[in-house]
Amino acid sequence: MERTRRDLGDDPAEMEPERLTVYGSLHLRSSVLAARASDADLADAHLAEATRAADLLPDPSANHYGMEFGPGNVALHAVSAAVEMEDGAKAIERALPLYEEFPPSLPPVRAGHFWVEVARAWYYQGDRRRALAALRRARGAAPQQVRIHPMVRDLVQTIASAETRPSEDLRAFAAWLGLD
């Protein structure tokens, strides 16, 4: 990804929107990969570069190459990066601005993924009730995605195993997923 970013140019301010979209999207992918490697500083540096690229876009709602790159997608990746580092507090802090006003330019599948990440963040914070509430919001946004998403299935099983007596709501959600 680094090589491809270099091939796109040295100065994002000089890039046309299509090139800027690819450049910023590569930084978003790199931020999540750095977070998975537990490198918070590198993840944040990539997020900062992606933010800079998104801010340079003349039309942030344009969808070049189907990448949906813009400020909204940067915000989603900031949440994902924090979740990947298992920092629930930071993920929730980053997610709160999107609770009320989810970027309308992003498709339902992105909203579904966002709410799955929020559920994971709440779980890391020890709040299983809010984790399940976020999973219900994910289901409302993108039911097909949520039903087959392995992270959702794992999270619901983990929550259920932590409960001495799972709530009816949790049992119903697990049944909807096809879990026993």
Q: What per-residue confidence (pLDDT) applies to 7?
A: 79
Residues contacting residue 98 through CB under 8 Å, at least 6 positions apart: 72, 75, 76, 79, 114
In tens, the pLDDT along 81-107 reads: 999 999 999 999 999 999 888 888 789
Per domain, the residue ranges of the chain are 1-106, 108-180
In tens, the pLDDT along 109-161 reads: 999 999 999 999 999 999 999 999 999 999 999 999 999 999 999 999 999 99
* pTM attached to this predicted model: 0.90
Residues contacting residue 15 through CB under 8 Å, at least 6 positions apart: 8, 9, 23, 56
**CATH fold for domain 108-180:** 1.25.40
